[in-house]
Amino acid sequence: MRSEREYVAGLYERLDAERARVKGEYDAALRGNGGTPMERDDEVRALTREVRRLDAVDNGLCFGRLDSTGGERSYIGRVGLFDQDNDYEPVLLDWRAPASRPFYTATAANPEGMRRRRQFHTRGRRVVEFTDEVLGRPGGAERGDAALLAAVNAPRGEGMRDIVATIQAEQDEIIRLDHPGVLVIEGGPGTGKTVVALHRVAYLLYTQRERMERHGVLVVGPNPAFLNHIGRVLPSLGESDVVFTTTGGLVPGLLVTAEDAPDAARLKGSLKVLDVLAAAVADRQRLPEEPLPVELGGVTLRIDAETAAWARDEARASGQPHNEARAVFADIVTYVLTERAMSRITRGWLSRDDRDEWERLRAGLLKELAQDEKFTAALDELWPVLTPQGLLAELYSSPERLRAAGADHVLFRAEGDAWTVSDVPLLDELVDLLGRDKSDDAAAERERKAQTEYAADVLGMLVGRQDSMDDEDHLFAEDLLYAEDLAERVLERDTRELVERAAADRDWTYRHVVVDEAQELSEMDWRVLMRRCPGRSFTVVGDLVQRRSPAGATSWAAVLEPYVPGRWVYRSLTVNYRTPAEIMAVAGALLADFAPGVQPPDSVRACGVRPWSRQVTDEGLAAAVAEFVREEAGREGTSVVIGPPDVPGAVPASETKGLEFDAVLVVEPERILADGPRGAAELYVALTRATQRLGVLHRGPLPRALTGLVEVGAQRPL
């Protein structure tokens, strides 16, 4: 024990020295010693990431040791550390390095050249205990499960913990899988799907850092509570260039405030809604019911239906998005009006042979038309500049527009801009259908050009000053550096961190995307995500049995084949590390009732506490819930009450997806089960959140599918 403590203490000394070195380089970069502003910014960002990475790995820096049959020892930890005085020999192997893999995969039957696996248990920076597993000797007093069981039996904290010290062989195979396309990880409750996916991200960032870190990784989860729960895992592994969001956050700045009825959610999630959106855009490309008058060159002209139809056909045929095609529409209408005006104005005194005069007249008419507010108003009426939110809000709140777009009446709502999560993929689709307002782009380009010219003038003045100086005069280097800095600032170089820039930019593309609870995503949701990752590198995590959304996936092939035909692979996790056998027996009976043929995951442990049920009266329900909350508050760990929305203190099962608690109280399972066609899946989720204790309160008869519960009276088991 003493030698191990000394070795680990030495690793911490090396970690501290490496931190001091990187911090010194970081401070020097901030002082701006050498290089251009852009180069210094890149260096500061890189060093910032390195400082964070080294700070994050302090807890549990080294968690194991491998002894080979040849006598070599390798220590395994969160990062790699090297002996700079001894040819950079590794003194600590990064858990993601190929040489570390036997720590997770070697078994008694297949030791992979290893003799012993040692797992450290630490408190702070000090080793307090270790357990050994002798490999290659079945029955040789092995203790390989000790660390795993200690981890799964430990009380839960506020967030998900990494499993870097206890990754199991089936999990390690998935984490290190070399597949460039889409990987689907499916498994029942407690199988570690999410944490495996996050460790896979850390592995990919380690093995493909140069390719991935400039664009980052996107992690999509079902709700903010879930994202908060998993948010510490990757930082604890030294990785921070990751954006966490829900599907509702995929359109930056959108505030989701409402929830759709099932029929509306189903329609919005279907690809059929693409026809509705296209028709809604086309409906805004209108022909005048009566000719629209325009004064030009002293004559009155009219934009008639025939002219507008020609312009509309040409604009649509251009293949450009609506707002960008407006320029084509305007060009055709402008051409017709100027030709008509010139024919009337020049009648009897000017022929087309006098080209110079003819073109001067045309230029004057074009300038007049461009400044004519009535002409601009006519264009706005016939081919308006549209925004995704404006178009969709007006569509939802107008029965007439819904009919014109061929949309079902279930999409109608009085408050058109009361956005739901199902609206997000539609708004994102409209960004591409509508495009940008070219006038805004032109103004931005003019501003950028002016800023560039200003910066060039500053540099030019300083260079001119240098050329005109006498020998005794000096142009200090600081002057040129100032000008260079000024040019960078004038051009407004974005200095935000990658995560900030990516989260705020709808057009940002990622090198890899993780989708958790993926069975809940609709066809339209997948279109959004595929736009975000043109390389189609995904880790997809889910369990089709737990699907609640009416627009969610019914098979992985149906979701993925349209985008990555033949480029996706499927892996399953079969061991339940969260839910003890006593609780899983209850959940398994429910699963057999609503999804016969689906095999529940095997629990790795029993907890020794039977789950219980208790029937209460209407008046006694609140007191029974309060009793549970009061008792659990005095225990170590976490707890939750899951039930219908009118139960005081309860949360719906959908908000607990992916989460885990030491103790769970499920209230009125009969009502959860009766809540729509996916009620059974909701109840299954509720029953499988507990790691130690499960209780059930019911007012009506207990559902037939709930078996294995110990019915108790007023006093329930502790």
Tell whether residue 187 is among the known ligand binding residues: yes
Nearest to 198 by CA among 233, 174, 171: 233
SS3 content of the chain, % helix, strand, coil (to 5): 45, 15, 35
Alpha carbon distance 99, 76 (integer Å): 9
Vertex 344: Cα angle to 343 and 346 (nearest 5) = 70
Residue in the structure block whose two tokens are 């709808």: 506
Show the tokens assigned to 664: 């769970």
Nearest to 708 by CA among 579, 589, 580, 578: 589
Alpha carbon distance 456, 410 (integer Å): 58
Beta strands in 139-259 (DSSP E): 182-187, 217-221, 242-246
Tell whether residue 188 is among the known ligand binding residues: yes
**How deeply is 126 buried, as exposed, middle or buried, from its count of CB atoms within 10 A (0-12, 13-18, 19+)?**
exposed
Beta strands in 584-658 (DSSP E): 602-603, 612-615, 639-642
* Chain center to CA of 369: 47
Tell whether residue 542 is among the known ligand binding residues: no
CA 187 to each of CA 315, 518, 573: distance values in angstroms, whole numbers, following the listed order: 50, 12, 5
CA 238 to each of CA 118, 124, 178, 234, 516: distance values in angstroms, whole numbers, following the listed order: 23, 17, 21, 6, 21
Residue in the structure block whose two tokens are 């509702």: 248
Alpha carbon distance 263, 413 (integer Å): 13
Alpha carbon distance 379, 384 (integer Å): 7
**Which DSSP state fits 95?**
T
Alpha carbon distance 495, 40 (integer Å): 11
Tell whether residue 193 is among the known ligand binding residues: yes
- Reported as half-sphere exposure (CB side, CA atoms, 13 A), residue 583 has a value of 32
- Dihedral angle at the C-alpha atoms of 489, 492, 493, 499, nearest 10 degrees? 130
Contact by Cβ (8 Å): 696, 664? no
Nearest to 688 by CA among 543, 571, 525: 543
SS3 state of residue 14 = helix
Euclidean distance between the first and the last CA atom of the chain, given in angstroms as a whole number:
39
Tell whether residue 552 is among the known ligand binding residues: no
Q: Where are the alpha helices (DSSP H) in 208-321?
A: 209-212, 224-230, 233-236, 262-269, 273-283, 305-317
**Which DSSP state fits 415?**
S
Burial 168-195 (b: 16+ CB within 10 A, else e): bebbbebbbeeeeebbbbbbbbbbbbbb
- Residue 44: which residues within 8 A CB-CB, separation 6 or more? 26, 29, 30
Tell whether residue 192 is among the known ligand binding residues: yes
Show the tokens assigned to 23: 């911090």
Alpha carbon distance 286, 288 (integer Å): 7
Number of other CB atoms surrounding residue 502 within 10 Å = 22
Alpha carbon distance 285, 267 (integer Å): 25
Burial 625-640 (b: 16+ CB within 10 A, else e): beebbeebeeeeebbb
- Residue 219: which residues within 8 A CB-CB, separation 6 or more? 198, 201, 227, 230, 242, 243, 244, 245, 513, 514, 516
Annotated binding site: 187-194
Annotated binding site for ATP: 187-194
